[in-house]
Every structure is written in structure tokens, then in C-alpha cells.
Amino acid sequence: MRCLLQRVTSACVTVDGDIIGQTGPGLLVLACAMQDDTETNVDVMARKLVNLRIFQDATGKTNRSVLDVGGSVLIVSQFTLAADTSRGNRPGFSQAAAPDPGRRLYELLCEQVAALGVPVETGRFGADMQVSLVNDGPMTIWLEK
């Protein structure tokens, strides 16, 4: 599973002009299930997202997690994180999970993050979405499990 994690003061996702998910302060997570991913990959990723210490403590050091600060998470599916640009100028996405298992693993990630105690909002799997955010820091981290 691949995720692009952004610490945000606010973020929202819209479909057809309607806000369907939002967060802030907290994390915006763009998530992509890969072909060989299993529930174990999702479990490891969920725990990493919840416990990654990228929020500042009282002394200004990044020692706190989204769980520690009482933040929330907006998780948006984004199969384009599987882009292979090694040949030519047109990316290939064959490493992404097929739609049915991809949806199942994406939904499982959302469920597991919520089960770990962090409020979760989501995008809509497979939809044409518009994502807006205010990156805090900026702090952007690539995770792969």
C-alpha cells in the first residue's frame, strides 16, 4: 500500500461541487492499494498513519501523532500513486490493485484508522474528485508498506 500523507490545517474533497469529506487540523492521506497488497499491509499502514509523530509538542519538536493531538484524517483513494514512469512519457498504472480488491483494501484502511481512535472522513472510491488543502509546515511524507 502506498500513501502520501500531508499534515494539514484543513482539507476537503468534493464531488460534483458537494463536499463529501473534510478534516482539519489533522492529516490528508492519499491512498493506493497495490496489486500484491493484503490485509496485513493495510494493518501496518493504519498503525503507521495513526502513530507517526509529525505534530509539534509544546517545545516545537515533532513528537506527537495525530492521535496524540486529537486530530482527524481525510483518506482519499488515488490509484495514480501506482504510476510507473520508467518508460516513455505516459504513466502506466498496472501495479495498482484492480478496482474490486482496491476498494476493499481502501475501505479497510479507513475502518482500521477509525478503529484506532482517529475520526475519519473519506473521498469516494473511483469518483472524479477535487481535493483542496492547506498543508501545515509544509509536511508531506511518502509511506509504502
Domains contained in the chain, number: 1
Q: How far apart are CA 26 and CA 68, in angstroms?
A: 11
Q: Does a structural domain hold residue 145? A: no
Q: So which residues are the catalytic ones? A: 78-80
- Give domain status of residue 127, yes or no: yes
Confidence of residue 145 (pLDDT cuts 50, 70, 90): confident
- Find out whether 72 and 31 touch, Cβ atoms under 8 Å: no
SS3 sequence of 116-134: CCCCEEECCCCCCCEEEEE
The answer to whether position 144 is within a domain reads: no
Average pLDDT, whole number, for the chain?
Answer: 97
Question: Residue 107 is placed in which grid cell?
Answer: 475501505
The pTM for the full model equals 0.96
Domain boundaries, position 131: 2-139
Is residue 40 domain-resident?
Answer: yes
CATH number for 48 = 3.50.80.10
